[in-house]
Amino acid sequence: MDQLIIIFHVLAAISIVALILIQQGKGADMGASFGAGASNTLFGSSGSGNVLTRSTAILAAIFFATSFALALVAKKHAHSAGMVDVPAAVETSVEVPAKPVDDIPSVPQNAAPVSDMPAPVPAPQ
């Protein structure tokens, strides 16, 4: 069933693209492109706009329907392939021994930072 929906979806997409490329602007109808001079001679009094527009709308509806059907199928497959039946991981707690406060070295409040690097040598002038 999934393969059939995908086939209709791809065919509808290709057909929509082809129909849109076939359509011309309002000034140049299908009859004028065949040299008839008037657009009413090829497709009757309604011209080519109605035929191509109506078929494009029908194919667009088919495309949306197949898109919706593919979304439903994907949701069905995603729900059955989820991790619902997998048990949750067991949490283990590890106790870290606390370090006594007396081992922390103290720094005087107004002490300047100490650097291991030597002082910079001034450049000769």
32: Cβ–Cβ under 8 A, 6 or more apart, which residues?
38, 39
Q: Which residue has the tokens 């490329």?
A: 21
Q: Phi and psi (nearest 5°) for 25? A: -65, 175
Cα–Cα distances in Å, from 3 out to 9, 59, 70, 83, 89?
A: 10, 19, 10, 26, 38
Q: Which residue has the tokens 């989820």?
A: 82
| 4 alpha-carbon distance from chain centroid | 24
Q: What percent of the chain has pLDDT over 70?
A: 54
Pull the structure tokens for residue 121. Answer: 């040598």
- pLDDT per position as a tens digit, 33-69: 565 555 444 555 555 568 888 999 999 999 999 999 9
**Domain presence at residue 48:** yes
| Mean local confidence (pLDDT), 11-23 | 92
**Domain presence at residue 6:** yes
Q: Count how many domains the chain has.
A: 1
**Domain presence at residue 26:** yes
**Domain presence at residue 96:** no
24 is in which domain, residue-wise?
2-80
**Domain presence at residue 73:** yes
Find the angle CA(61)-CA(66)-CA(67) to the nearest 5 degrees.
95
**Domain presence at residue 20:** yes
**Domain presence at residue 72:** yes
**Domain presence at residue 114:** no
pTM above 0.85, yes or no: no
Picking from 41-45, 65-69, 95-99, 109-113, which range would have the lowest pLDDT averaged per residue?
41-45
